[in-house]
């Protein structure tokens, strides 16, 4: 098989790395890729949102399977465009991708089909949103309706913070089109967990659980980011709880979409809050999470390409998917200032030393090759991932590798996995 992976971040590096292990895959291209991916695949200079360019390239290169990493091209209809040309693509069509592309659509679906989630209202007028916030009080959550690169969710501890978030989105237009409509929802207390599943539109097979770390700094302080680290499995997600999530959330979501005339094929990701009343959906994603992908795929037994083809053909079976019993942990090394403004072009050293360590793999998220050197080219730069028999050993290996890598302004959280360690140490 000849495979094209669309995207250029840490998730796509993990996908390329895992697909390379398939006996069926003979050649991988990645568009646009990054400096780390270039060691495993042929990178091509086509942007992830250049759908026409990607379709043209796939046709010219006789690509057998295109795997879409990021959410934006899925929301823009890349899967529809490939299917219209009779080409295999892994990722949901635009109608299904609305689960992530529109929080209001997702809320409507959950309310209609009884899927547990926070109480919410959707607004396009600032004065209406502000009146609702003042009525409900704080803490409260304000979300941009559309795609905002993981930064469109404001957990407001005070009414003033919530009011400021509404002003930023609906008045100042800080989030562009994504913030022209906002969802204001009740604050849910509990522990967050990510549950991803493969689905062919009928069968839903959950993946191993993972926990992400959204806040920029230790002790969950600072602004939300795209994710500063992750680990898998998540001890809080017991086998019994996973089956409840499958029964009450994942299955009803896929089957609810089918009743709406939408077949979801690909990866369904449910970001959940484990409340006193049970698991509730915070958000959906319609692709692998980043950095959850970097800790889930190393634990996946079997052939990822075979699983993806089974999803596309409607023949996904439970027995195709199994997991190694080891633990995996990922620590994100970010540019100084992220998720705000940051400088790029900083030379990265220590990558070879880290790569030589056992049970360690460094996934590149925002890197480029410049004058023969690997430099920073994004907010999240590297996802240093390790695995071991316990969560503690996986984290120890990951942080040992992190300490060998350097670039100006680097920052990372030193407490990845703290919830899991509290349950297992």
Nearest to 10 by CA among 301, 313, 336, 230: 230
The model's pLDDT over 9-40, given as tens digits with 9 standing for 90+, comes to 999 999 999 999 999 999 999 999 999 999 99
Token pair listed for 337:
């200032």
Alpha helices in 197-283 (DSSP H): 239-245, 251-259
Q: What is the mean pLDDT of residues 165-182?
A: 91
Q: What does the buried/exposed string (b/e) look like for 366-379 if buried means 16 or more CB atoms within 10 Å of the residue's CB?
A: bbbeeeeebbbbbb
pLDDT at 274: 94
Quote the pLDDT of residue 33. 98
Strands 2-7 and 65-68: parallel
Average pLDDT of every residue of the chain: 96
Q: Give the torsion through C-alpha atoms of 280, 286, 291, 293, to 10 deg.
A: 110
Quick check: helix, strand or coil at residue 181?
A: coil
**Rounded Cα gap, residues 30 and 16, in angstroms:** 8
Give pLDDT tens digits for 113-159: 999 999 999 999 999 999 999 999 999 999 999 888 667 888 999 99
Q: Inform me whether the pLDDT recorded for 400 exceeds 90.
A: yes
**pLDDT tens digits for range 58-94:** 999 999 999 999 999 999 999 999 999 999 999 999 9
Q: What is the pLDDT of residue 30?
A: 98
pTM for the model stands at 0.94
Q: What is the pLDDT of residues 277-305, one digit of tens each?
A: 999 999 999 999 999 999 999 999 989 99
Domains and CATH numbers, the chain: 2-93 (3.40.50.20), 119-186 (3.30.1490.20), 191-320 (3.30.470.20), 327-424 (3.90.600.10)
Q: Which two tokens stand for residue 291?
A: 């950095």
Angle, nearest 10°, between helix axes 103-112 and 94-101?
100
Cα 355 from Cα 359, distance rounded (Å)? 9
Backbone torsion region of residue 240, taken as left when φ is above 0, otherwise alpha when ψ lies between -120 and 50, otherwise beta: alpha
Average pLDDT over residues 396-400: 98
Residue 103 CB-half CA count within 13 A: 30
- What is the distance in angstroms between the CA of the first residue and the CA of the last residue of the chain? 44
Higher pLDDT, 151 or 248: 248
Does the structure show a pLDDT above 90 at 2? Answer: yes
Stated as kind and residue range, the H or E segment containing 267 is: strand 266-275
* pLDDT recorded at residue 178: 87
Query: Cβ(181)–Cβ(105) under 8 Å?
Result: no
pLDDT at site 150: 64
Q: Residue 184: in which H helix or E strand, if any?
A: strand 182-186
Confidence of residue 223 (pLDDT cuts 50, 70, 90): confident
Give percent above pLDDT 70 in the chain: 99
pLDDT score recorded for residue 424: 83
CA nearest to 31, candidates 1, 60, 51, 59: 51
pLDDT band at 8, cuts 50/70/90?
very high
- pLDDT of 324-375, one tens digit each? 999 999 999 999 999 999 999 999 999 999 999 999 999 999 999 999 999 9
Answer left, alpha or beta for residue 72, where phi above 0 means left and psi between -120 and 50 means alpha: alpha
Instruction: Give phi and psi for 233, each to the nearest 5.
Output: -75, 165
């Amino acid at each position: 098989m000849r495979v094209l992976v669309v995207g250029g971040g840490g998730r796509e590096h993990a996908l390329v790395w895992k697909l390379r292990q398939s006996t069926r895959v003979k050649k991988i291209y990645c568009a646009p890729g990054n400096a780390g991916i270039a060691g495993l695949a042929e990178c091509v200079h086509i942007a992830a949102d250049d759908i026409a360019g990607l379709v043209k390239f796939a046709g010219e290169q006789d690509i057998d399977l295109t795997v879409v990493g990021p959410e934006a091209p899925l929301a823009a209809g890349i899967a529809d465009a490939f299917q219209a040309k009779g080409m295999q693509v892994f990722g949901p069509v635009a109608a299904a991708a609305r689960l992530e592309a529109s929080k209001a659509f997702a809320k409507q679906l959950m309310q209609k089909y009884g899927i547990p989630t926070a109480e919410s209202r959707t607004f396009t007028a600032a004065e209406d949103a502000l009146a609702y916030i003042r009525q409900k009080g704080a803490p409260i959550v304000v979300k941009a309706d559309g795609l905002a690169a993981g930064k469109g969710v404001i957990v407001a501890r005070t009414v003033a913070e919530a009011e400021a978030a509404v002003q930023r989105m609906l008045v100042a237009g800080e989030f562009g089109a994504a913030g022209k409509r906002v969802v204001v929802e009740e604050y849910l207390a509990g522990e967050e967990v990510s549950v991803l599943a493969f689905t062919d539109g009928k069968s839903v097979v959950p993946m191993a659980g993972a926990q992400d770390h959204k806040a920029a700094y230790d002790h969950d302080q600072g602004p939300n980011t795209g994710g500063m680290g992750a680990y898998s499995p998540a001890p809080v997600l017991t086998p019994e709880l996973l089956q409840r999530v499958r029964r009450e959330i994942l299955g009803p979501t896929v089957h609810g979409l089918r009743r709406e005339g939408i077949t979801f094929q690909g990866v369904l990701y449910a970001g959940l809050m484990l409340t006193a009343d049970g698991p509730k959906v915070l958000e959906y994603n319609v692709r692998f999470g980043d950095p959850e992908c970097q800790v889930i795929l190393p634990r996946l037994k079997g052939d990822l390409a075979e699983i993806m083809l089974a999803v596309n053909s409607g023949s996904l079976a439970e027995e195709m998917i199994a997991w190694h019993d080891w633990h995996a942990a990922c620590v994100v090394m970010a540019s100084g200032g992220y998720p705000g403004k940051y400088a790029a072009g900083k030379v990265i050293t220590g990558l070879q030393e880290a790569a030589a360590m056992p049970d360690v793999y460094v996934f590149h998220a925002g890197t480029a090759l410049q004058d023969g050197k690997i430099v920073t080219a994004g907010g999240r730069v590297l996802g240093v991932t390790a695995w071991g028999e316990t969560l503690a050993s996986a984290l120890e290996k990951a942080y040992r590798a992190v300490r060998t890598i350097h670039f100006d302004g680097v920052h990372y959280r030193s407490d990845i996995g703290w919830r899991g360690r509290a349950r297992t140490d």
